[in-house]
Amino acid sequence: MALRALKPQGWNRERDKGMKILIQKFGGTSVADRDCMTRVRAKVEDGLKRADKVIAVLSARAGDTNRLLALADEWSATPDMAECDSLVSTGEQVSISLFTMLLKDAGIRARSLLGWQIPITTDEHFGRARIRAIKSDVLRTLLTEYDVLVIAGFQGCTEDGRITTLGRGGSDTSAVALAAALDSAECEIYTDVEGVYTTDPNICSTARKMERVAYEEMLEMASMGAKVLHIRSVEFAKKYKVPVRVRSTFSDDPGTLVTQEDSSMEAVLVSGIAYDKDQARVTLRDVPDVPGMAAALFGPLSEKGILVDMIVQNTSQDGHTDMTFTISRKDLKQTLEIMDEVARKTGASEVLHDVSVAKVSAIGVGMRNHSGVAARAFAALTQEGINILMISTSEIKITILIQEKYVELAVRILHDTFGLDWDIGC
């Protein structure tokens, strides 16, 4: 999306001059019940002391999105994607209305807004839509009347008015896109941990909170499974240079600033370990090793919007090879249907799959200037008897596919190996 598309149309410079707008996003556990929402109200009141206006972006209350998705599955074996988005987006409608009531009870001039009421326009990929534009002049006009706008995260609408959702965890993206569109100086993401840690603090007790993390590192951590930030939110933040502060609803800790890289960040070799259990491995056996075969395999998957993650092609034997790749588990059924068809067309002998795998990644901008990180990671895992199934690397990351049952152990081993631990063991 072009920056221009996000910028306010009809922005009244005189009227808006100097208006400081703070974006604050609150996740599902932060708005889970009335007590939590009362804490959130205090955060918004604090925000109003630091800025002229606050835009609060809310997730659905903890568990509501899952409940709505389960309801869709109960109703239909193959729920219509557009209707599913319409259904699942109601979780945020509940939370924003309830929260706005609490704000009004405290005498705060506030109103709630759904995605289509702004609108936040997206493409038509139901369930994983991408934001195209935000009509921010509507928000600026409303901010002359209200001090707080409470906006439903995770949702938008297509050009022709159908409700879409942005993918699980997508409220972070709504918040950062609003911050970019409104030229907000900072976007605060409030959650149930005190910031971005060297790894998930809920599985590794010696994980350390980082004061700052580079956009690029955060992007890799998010795409490798660190769900503390939705990956698209980091892409937006990086592209539009929005400083994002991840902090806790339940404390006053300053949290972690996600920002541009500086020289001090390069000094650290590995800054974080991420893991992702949402992995399935698919293998096509005895594929003819001829030009165009990879395109014949992956073309049909990309046409269906299925993201392929790691890919390994074995060495050729008698003009044939095995091709192995990983995908999200939710795409497995569709992928296997497509691969059966591909196998028939190409003459591949069989299609195998495995859903008991997961990936672990070590990430750090410092890796650019150092070699040997991968070797250290392999040695540490091997010493603990963890078998490595697949490997992929980039300039600032190394990813290893292993059996899911070893994930927590592997995270702790790598966290220790790269010196990220506090002084007590994980």
Q: Which residues bind Mg ion (CB under 5 A)?
A: 27, 169
Cβ nearer to ligand ASP, comparing 25 with 41: 25
Which does residue 193 touch among Mg ion, ligand ASP, ligand ADP, none (CB within 5 to 8 A, set by kind)?
Answer: ligand ADP
Tell me how far apart the alpha carbons of residues 251 and 74 are, in angstroms, rounded to a whole number.
Answer: 39
Q: Does 28 bind ligand ADP (CB under 6 A)?
A: yes
Q: Does 96 bind ligand ADP (CB under 6 A)?
A: no
| Contact letters for ligand ADP, residues 217-256 (x by CB under 6 A) | ---------xxx----------------------------
Cβ nearer to ligand ASP, comparing 165 with 283: 165
Degrees to nearest 5, angle at CA 168 with 165 and 169: 105
Q: Is the peptide bond before 119 cis (omega within 30 degrees of 0)?
A: yes
Which does residue 192 touch among ligand ASP, ligand ADP, Mg ion, none (CB within 5 to 8 A, set by kind)?
Answer: ligand ADP
Beta strand pairing call for 187-191 and 110-113? unpaired
Q: Does 29 bind ligand ADP (CB under 6 A)?
A: yes
Q: What's the residue count for the chain?
A: 426
Tabulate helix, strand, coil % of the chain (nearest 5): 40, 25, 35
Degrees to nearest 5, angle at CA 317 with 313 and 322: 30
How many amino acids of this chain bind ligand ASP (CB under 6 A)?
12
Tell me how far apart the alpha carbons of residues 145 and 57 are, in angstroms, rounded to a whole number.
Answer: 18
Minimum CB–partner distance for residue 64 and ligand ADP (Å):
11
Query: Which one of 49-57, 75-83, 198-206, 363-371 is the stretch in contact with ligand ADP (CB under 6 A)?
Result: 198-206
One residue of 112, 171, 249, 259 binding ligand ASP per CB under 6 A: 171
Q: Does 191 bind ligand ADP (CB under 6 A)?
A: yes
Which does residue 327 touch among ligand ADP, ligand ASP, Mg ion, none (CB within 5 to 8 A, set by kind)?
Answer: none
Minimum CB–partner distance for residue 375 and ligand ASP (Å):
38
* SS3 annotation, 14-59: HHHCCCCEEEEEECHHHHCCHHHHHHHHHHHHHHHHHCCEEEEEEC
Task: Report the run of H or E that residue 350 belongs to, with start and end.
Answer: strand 350-363
Q: Could you write out the DSSP letters of every residue in 281-319?
A: EEEEEEEE--TTHHHHHHHHHHHTTPPP--EEEPPPBTT
Q: Does 60 bind ligand ASP (CB under 6 A)?
A: yes
Which does residue 170 touch among Mg ion, ligand ASP, ligand ADP, none (CB within 5 to 8 A, set by kind)?
Answer: ligand ASP
Task: Report the run of H or E that residue 334 belongs to, with start and end.
Answer: helix 332-346
Question: Token pair 């869709």 is at which residue?
Answer: 72
Minimum CB–partner distance for residue 209 and ligand ADP (Å):
8
Q: Does 156 bind ligand ASP (CB under 6 A)?
A: no
Cβ nearer to ligand ADP, comparing 158 with 361: 361
Minimum CB–partner distance for residue 264 and ligand ASP (Å):
31
Tell me how far apart the alpha carbons of residues 321 and 312 are, in angstroms, rounded to a whole number.
Answer: 10
Q: Does 192 bind ligand ADP (CB under 6 A)?
A: yes
Tell me how far apart the alpha carbons of residues 93 and 407 are, in angstroms, rounded to a whole number.
Answer: 36
- Residue 52 makes CB contacts below 8 A (sequence gap 6+) with 18, 19, 20, 21
Which does residue 255 touch among ligand ASP, Mg ion, ligand ADP, none (CB within 5 to 8 A, set by kind)?
Answer: none
- Give the footprint of ligand ASP on residues 15-54 (CB under 6 A): 27-28
Binding site for ligand ADP (CB under 6 A): 27-30, 59, 169, 191-193, 196-197, 199-202, 226-228, 272
